[in-house]
Amino acid sequence: MGIFAGRAPYVWISNAYGGTGVFSVALACVLSAGCTPPAFNADPNSQPKGVGSAGSLSVDMVDPNFKFPRVLRGTLGYDRDLIWGIRGTVEGLYSKTQEDIYYTNVNRVQTGTSALDGRPTYSLVSKQIFDATFLTNTSKGHEFTQTLQLVRPFTHGLTMSASYAHQNAQSAFEGTSSRAISNWRFEHTKGDIFTPTVGNSVFLQKHRANAAITYDLPMGPVNHTFGLYWNAQSGRPYSLLFGTDINKDQYATNDLLFIPGGADKMILCPSQTPTSTVPTAAAPCGTGRTPLDANIFSSFVSSAGLNPNQARTIGKYESFEPWSRDLDFHYALALPIHTVRTEIDADVLNLLHLFNKDSGNVYFVSNQNTSPVTYLGNDPSGKPVYREASTTLNSDGTRNFGSLTPGRQFSIADLRSRWQARLGLRISF
């Protein structure tokens, strides 16, 4: 047991040297916000000079009492010889956050609550400043990993082993970016942006199992080694988000999904519905747009491992990518040549994919989050109205598929889903 250093925070601290609010100022002209962007001019000496308002600045700050990340970590293991020559090992590893990084944006202040689920909503403290990130610490977060391993060595060079690991990793802040504002704006939240909320860690590896067989076959001065390694592990966690800025913190990249609690408690619209639509009793999806079957939303939520009939704002990283399974093959040939030892080895990774293209595929969710719907508002009866992020319609206007089709959030990891071969030569003197 001991206290260990965590991630080196140098890049996060360095943000304060560049993000002073003096070196750079942002000026945006967005058509949807009522500003007509000027025509492009390739002449650097004739750029538009008519600016209606001053640009907004952003500032990065560091708590004067900020401490480097640290964790308290302890491990306990037990080995025992079991029946039939099997050796068993049980090990537990526990970590508790002492100090980790945590970002807030002090240019936000709560000014209301959302009609959707009551989450806080925010406004800018000062319109002269857009973002004012503040790097400080949190002590929330822990991890517990349990491992079981069985090893059975046989005579004549055969060895078999198998192991299983289960992990529960909870964190309050992920810190996966080098930029201060990116760390803050991409941290998934239920709404409260000033209170660290513990949830599944983005690095959580919930289940992992593997087995290995190796066989050494000496034949005079030559030695052959054969090996098979099988690995199966649960997918990475991912979050379901809105494609809408529900808490009005100026970013539509971090708002966790609210499950209304059943298909009869919501209205679902196709993506062809304008985002500016104000739901009415007669036309919740706008004039000429027919609502979709809300069970489409329930089926998607259920396929993501969540209960569609439980009304709640979900936590971060509660869903998981599909399991991945692969089998690797290893062969080595040891040749004694005069005074040196020469070894020729060959590996085939993801062996099953060599024979079946549907085996050994690894599926992932981009950036470990997906935004299948946006929020348009509530209809007069109080039901939330969701708009599918993308909807493909049939020729008769009915829905074919869309972002709420189960499995649409997954992509195939191209490199990891291929079989790969390697041939090597090693000479030892």
pLDDT in tens, the chain (429 residues): 899 998 888 999 999 998 887 777 777 776 655 677 788 888 888 887 766 666 778 999 999 999 999 999 999 999 999 999 999 999 999 999 999 999 999 999 999 999 999 999 999 999 888 999 999 999 999 999 999 999 999 988 999 999 999 999 999 999 999 999 999 999 999 999 999 889 999 999 999 999 999 999 988 888 999 999 999 999 999 999 999 999 999 999 899 999 999 999 999 999 988 888 888 988 999 888 899 999 999 999 999 999 999 999 999 999 999 999 999 999 999 988 877 889 999 999 999 999 999 899 999 999 999 999 999 999 999 999 999 999 888 887 788 889 999 999 999 999 999 999 999 998 887
Residues 6+ apart with CB under 8 A from 237: 200, 201, 202, 204, 206, 317, 318, 319, 320, 321, 368
CA angle 224/423/223 to nearest 5° reads 10
Q: Give the start-to-end residue ranges of the domains of the chain.
A: 237-321+344-428
Q: In the prediction, which pLDDT does 210 show?
A: 97
Dmax over CA atoms of the chain, in Å, equals: 90
What confidence score (pLDDT) does residue 399 get? Answer: 86
Residue 410, SS3? coil
Sign, CA dihedral 45-47-49-55, equals negative
Per-residue pLDDT, 258: 97
Q: pTM of the prediction?
A: 0.90
Q: Distance of alpha carbon 51 from its chain centroid, rounded?
A: 40
Among 95, 97, 100, which residue's Cα sits nearest to residue 73? 95
Give pLDDT, residue 187: 95
> How many Å separate Cα 220 from the centre of its chain?
53
pLDDT for 26 equals: 73
Distance (Å, rounded) from C-alpha 347 to C-alpha 342?
17
**Which DSSP helix (H) or strand (E) runs through 351?**
helix 351-355
Of 305, 339, 139, nearest in space to 237 by CA: 305
Do residues 133 and 251 lie in contact, with contact meaning Cβ atoms separated by under 8 Å?
no
